Amino acid sequence: MTATLCTPMALRGLTLRNRIVISPMCQYSAQGGIANDWHLAHYGRLAMGGAGLVLFEATSISPEGRISPGDLGLWEDAQIAPMARVAAFVKSQGAAAGVQLAHAGRRAASQRPWHGAGPLGPEDADLRGEPAWPVVAPSALAMAEGWPVPQALSLEGIAQVRADFAAAARRALAAGFDVIEIHAAHGYLLHEFLSPLSNTRDDAYGGDRARRMRLALEVAADLRAIWPADRPVFVRVSVVDGADGGQTVEDTVAFARELKALGVDVVDCSTGGMLGSATASRVPRGPGFQLPYARAVREGAGIPAMAVGLILDPHQAEAALTEGDADLIAIGRTALDDPNWPLHAERALTGDRWDHWPPQAGWWLERRAASLRR
């Protein structure tokens, strides 16, 4: 038996062993942006679970671009070696290693979710030594009531953002990553430039759709030029804001066409995040609820699309691929619940086999299965 979900996929000079991708999920567990043993164990177990690509969490390009004090970073050279250690182990287990580069914009200086997920305040500084820092955005519009009003970026500030993305990409290359993903979704800085809800500028970076897209496209062009020609570049988007007057499917398809022209290889299709929590929108949620958005981008822009969002069952994932909704399937919380989901999916779709499991586990499990059959 064969299944599309379990077949390799070539992206430039990189071949993924299957179509399953671990979606970036913030762990909020770094100190000074530096990866530690938590990240080694977390990403290591996801790679051992059989995914084709493990995308590391949103990794900040600058200290002020962090979502929280616990974010990973690639804003200084001291962060390269700890990330390289984790990436090397992921690759040793047969998965490709990717990193999502991000700037949080007006969502920066936030508490870790288990500390409340609100803006950092005096109590965070007093209790945990985690003071807030100034935040920036396209326009001086707070994300929500009770959140700080960001400083609108000057043209010099925008140029610095581009330089920071480029420097972080070079560090990601030095750390040995196979893939970089540019985070332009979920209400973070590049998405804030794309959306008319958060970008009210009247200069070259705001106004009509072409000007709102300008910074994200400049960053994509910069990183495509830096990243080796044999390695793919992904961009994560919120296909719709899910709010009145926000980003539309048509806007995102137009953006995806421009990304394709620049040499971007995959558009990672999510939704929401402009208002409220980073994944909030009015898009009704249910199994595979974002698949239609991935299909719209895939068909409208003629670019490979990655689908994410409550993809829970291997047969559901297989149908999404065979029916043309997406080219890659990303799982997030599903993988936190079961890091071996990709391996279980392969057995569910292709039969009772253990040869793709790490031998340290597969050897035992194969014998247990034989014993149970007897």
Instruction: Quote the domain boundaries for residue 34.
Output: 4-373
Tally of domains within the chain: 1
pLDDT of residue 2: 85
DSSP character string of 220-234: HHHHHHHS-TTS-EE
- Which residues, 6 or more positions from 121, have their beta carbon under 8 angstroms from its beta carbon? 132
The CA distance from 139 to 142, in Å, is 9
- C-alpha torsion 190→192→194→199, nearest 10: -140
Give the active site residue among 28, 43, 188, 293. Answer: 188
Instruction: Tell me if 19 sits within 8 A of 4, measured CB to CB.
Output: yes
- The closest of 92, 19, 7, 4 to 53, measured between CA atoms, is 19
Q: Which two tokens mark 308?
A: 């994410």
CA distance 164 to 321: 36
Going through 206-347 in order, the beta strands assigned E by DSSP cover: 233-238, 266-270, 305-308, 328-331
Return phi, psi of residue 306, to 5°: -110, 130
User: What's the burial of 213, exposed, middle or buried (CB within 10 Å: 0-12/13-18/19+)?
Assistant: buried
Give yes or no: 28 in active site: no
Q: Which residues of the chain have pLDDT under 50?
A: none
Q: How many residues appear in the chain?
A: 374
- Cα separation, 63 vs 171, in Å, equals 15
CA–CA separation, 224 and 169 (whole Å): 10
The reported pLDDT for the residue numbered 288 is: 85
Query: Whole-angstrom Cα distance, residue 228 to residue 2?
Result: 32
- Specify the CATH number for the domain of residue 299: 3.20.20.70
Question: Nearest Cα to 24, choosing from 191, 181, 237?
Answer: 181
Distance CA 5, CA 349 (A): 9
- State which amino acid sits at residue 333: R
Q: What are phi and psi of 96, to 5 degrees?
A: -80, 150
Residue keyed to tokens 């008319």: 196
Helices (H), 9-63: 37-48
